[in-house]
Amino acid sequence: MTEASIDESSDLTSALYRNFDRDRWRELRASTPLTLSESDLATIQGLNEKLRMDEVAEIYLPLSRLLSLHVAANRLLARVRDTFLHEETSPVPYVIGLAGSVAVGKSTTARLLQALLSRWPEHPRVELVTTDGFLFPNAVLEARGLMKRKGFPESYDIRRLLRFVSDLKSGLTGLSVPVYSHVAYDIMPDTTQAIPHADIVIIEGLTVLQTGTTQGERAPRMFVSDFFDFSIYVDASLPAIKRWYIERFLALRAAIFTNPSSYFHRYASLSESEAVETATRIWREINEVNLRENIQPTRSRAHLVLQKGPSHAVERVFLRKR
């Protein structure tokens, strides 16, 4: 079977990417066993996602195999370098960056990859870090007039995030990251997530592939993505993501928003039509702007793009040639 052609008007051009439909991609699973159960899958998928076992087998198992081969090659290269330098260094984690829009399913993808990769005997220790923990606290965002820019590049403590990934790739141990609460919609004070020494660390976030600067700031010398060994972008059409965002908002209205401690508790009493109107406005004024200006332009920087169709299922996979 030959590769399908890629739309030359897209940034996913045939000069950069190989383009696989599901049939061609699932062949690359080879004999990789499926060790995930339906109950495992239920704990992984997002609030309004219906992740099917056949998609795990056809899309994510081949991806876990590819990543495992990359990890093995990376370790071999490290041993070659040690031989050349006549020294022996401790292994450092293989770091995978995972980017994409709000509501596109990147958190589910990250959790699923963590579960699949940790089942490979060669690298059982897989940690997941979300960049939500590196958002500035609400008090800082409010003081800077950035509450409506939450999730935009300027709302993150990039220096702290850079220091973490730098320490991670330097082989330092005893690392920790801040913790973000989606109920409180804020950083949890005096709370951290310990990051033990790992074989693989997945770093998931909206703009982890972003390299631009924000107003009034000097161009950074380093980017978070400089420390990634492999990067993935979860993609879908804008109308599909908008619909998924509204559906998720409605689901949250009947779940987390009912918690009196929730930052968004005021939305729990909205009627369905009012909730749709509110979600549409938030999408249009904040999330769509961030997607167009900061997230989607980073897509072509990814090593691999998972392109979803209207049903949330991955329909095509784009893999960089180099």
Q: Is the pLDDT of residue 124 over 60?
A: yes
Confidence of residue 211 (pLDDT cuts 50, 70, 90): confident
Q: What is the mean pLDDT of residues 13-19?
A: 92
**pLDDT per position as a tens digit, 269-317:** 999 999 999 999 999 999 999 999 999 999 999 999 999 999 999 999 9
Residue 131 has pLDDT above 70, yes or no: yes
C-alpha–C-alpha distance, residues 171 and 232, integer Å: 23
Give the residue carrying structure tokens 């996602």: 49
d(CA 206, CA 161): 13
Q: How far apart are the C-alpha atoms of 65 and 142, rounded to whole Å?
A: 44
Helices in 152-271 by DSSP H: which ranges? Answer: 158-169, 238-253
Give per-residue pLDDT as tens, 46-102.
777 888 999 999 999 999 999 999 999 999 999 999 999 999 888 899 999 999 999
Domain residue extents for the chain: 17-320
Sign, CA torsion 289/292/297/300: positive
To 10 degrees, what angle do helices 106-117 and 61-85 make? 60
Is pLDDT above 90 for 10? no
216: alpha, beta or left? (left if phi > 0; alpha if psi -120 to 50): left
Contact yes or no for 102/206 (Cβ under 8 A): yes
The confidence score (pLDDT) of residue 212 equals: 66
Q: What pLDDT was estimated at residue 123?
A: 87
The predicted structure's pLDDT at residue 8? 42
Given a cut of 90, is residue 203 above it in pLDDT? yes
With vertex at residue 294, the alpha carbon angle to CA 292 and CA 297, rounded to the nearest 5 degrees, is: 70
Contact between residue 218 and residue 202 where contact means Cβ atoms under 8 Å apart: no
Interval 240-249 mean pLDDT: 96
pLDDT exceeds 90 at position 198: yes
Q: Give the pLDDT mean for 235-242.
A: 97
CB 218 within 8 A of CB 226: no
Residue 38, H or E segment: helix 38-44
Q: Tell me: the pLDDT tens digits for 147-157? A: 999 999 999 99
**Given this model, what pLDDT does residue 218 score?**
59
Contact 245, 314 (CB under 8 A): no
The tens digit of pLDDT for each residue in 176-186 reads: 999 999 999 99
Confidence (pLDDT) at 217: 56
Higher pLDDT, 87 or 221: 87
Total-model pTM: 0.93
With residue 178 as reference, give the H or E element that holds it: strand 175-181
Give me the amino acid identity at 206.
L
How high is the mean pLDDT of the chain?
Answer: 92
pLDDT at 89: 87
Which of the four CATH numbers 3.30.70.890, 3.40.50.300, 3.40.50.1820, 3.40.50.800 does domain 17-320 have? 3.40.50.300
pLDDT exceeds 50 at position 6: no
**Predicted pLDDT at 258:** 94
Predicted confidence at residue 4, as pLDDT, reads 39
